[in-house]
Chain A
Amino acid sequence: DTGVSQNPRHKITKRGQNVTFRCDPISEHNRLYWYRQTLGQGPEFLTYFQNEAQLEKSRLLSDRFSAERPKGSFSTLEIQRTEQGDSAMYLCASSPVGGQLLTEAFFGQGTRLTVV
C-alpha cells in the first residue's frame, strides 16, 4: 500500500450531470476525510468517516452531495446535478486515529473536477 489513492484524477462534466469520485485510504486507517480545494485557496472540510459511520458533515455539503463508506474501506463522493461552482479539487485523506487525538492525516492527489 503506497498511500491514499483517488480516482479519477481528472473529470470534466457538463452542468447538470452526476459525478462520482472514489477514494481508497491507507489500509487499516479507520478515519477518512473529504476536503474541497478551489484554485488558490486552502482545503475546506466537507465530511469525515470513522469506519463506516459518517460522523460529521460541513455546511458546505449541500443536498446534492452524498458520501458513503461501505464496510469502512473505500469511500465515494457523489455530486448530483453539478453546477459550475462545484469545479474544484476534491481531496481525500485518511488517518489511523481512533479517539480524540488527531495523528497525521495522509492525503491523496485529489480529483480535479471541471464543470462546463
Chain B
Amino acid sequence: AQTVTQSQPEMSVQEAETVTLSCTYDTSESDYYLFWYKQPPSRQMILVIRQEAYKQQNATENRFSVNFQKAAKSFSLKISDSQLGDAAMYFCACDNAGNMLTFGGGTRLMVKP
C-alpha cells in the first residue's frame, strides 16, 4: 500500500510572491511517478506537473517546479510569481503500479491581491 500526506490544509500567498506546498509519500516500489494536480472550485482536476522517480532532475513547468527528495520521500511544489488564477485545491498523488493514483488530503491555496 502507498500513502500520501499533505500536512498543510491551507496556505496563503501574496500575488507575485512564491509559495511552496509540501508533500510526503510512502511506497515500497522503486519505480513510481509523482504528480501535483490542481482542482479549482467547481472545475475539473488538471495536472500541474509530473515527476518520474528514476529521474534525479527536478521537473519544471513554467512557474511550477518541484523539489524531489527521493531518500526523504518528499515531493514539494513551488509556485513562483503567484497569480490570482492559482487559487485552488492542490493534490499531491503517487502512482506505482500504472493502475491508480493515491492522493493526499489536499492543500487549499489562497492568493491575496
Contacts from A to B (Cβ < 8 Å): 3-4, 33, 35, 40-45, 48, 55-56, 58, 91, 93, 97, 99-102, 104-105, 107-110
Smallest distance from the beta carbon of B16 to chain A beta carbons, Å? Answer: 29
Q: List 8 A-B contacts (CB under 8 A).
A: A3-B44, A33-B101, A40-B105, A42-B104, A104-B50, A107-B45, A109-B42, A110-B44
Assess A33 versus B44: contact at CB under 8 Å? Given A41-B106, A42-B91: no
Partner of A107 from the list B44, B100, B105 (CB cut-off 8 Å) is: B44
**In the complex, what residue of chain B is closest to A104 when comparing beta carbons?**
B47
The CA-CA distance from A87 to B43 in the complex, in Å, is 18
Partner of B100 from the list A3, A45, A91, A100 (CB cut-off 8 Å) is: A45
Contacts from B to A (Cβ < 8 Å): 4, 6, 33, 37, 42-47, 50, 91, 93, 95, 97-106
Partner of A55 from the list B44, B91, B99 (CB cut-off 8 Å) is: B99
Assess A102 versus B98: contact at CB under 8 Å? Given A44-B103, A107-B45: yes
The CA-CA distance from A3 to B46 in the complex, in Å, is 11
The CA-CA distance from A70 to B45 in the complex, in Å, is 25
Determine if A56 and B104 form an interchain contact, defined as CB atoms under 8 angstroms apart: no
Assess A108 versus B102: contact at CB under 8 Å? Given A42-B91, A43-B91, A102-B33: no
Determine if A56 and B44 form an interchain contact, defined as CB atoms under 8 angstroms apart: no
Smallest distance from the beta carbon of B29 to chain A beta carbons, Å? Answer: 11
Quick one: which of A42, A48, A93, A101 has the most chain B CB within 10 A? A42
Q: Which residues from chain A contact B97 at a C-beta distance below 8 Å?
A: 100
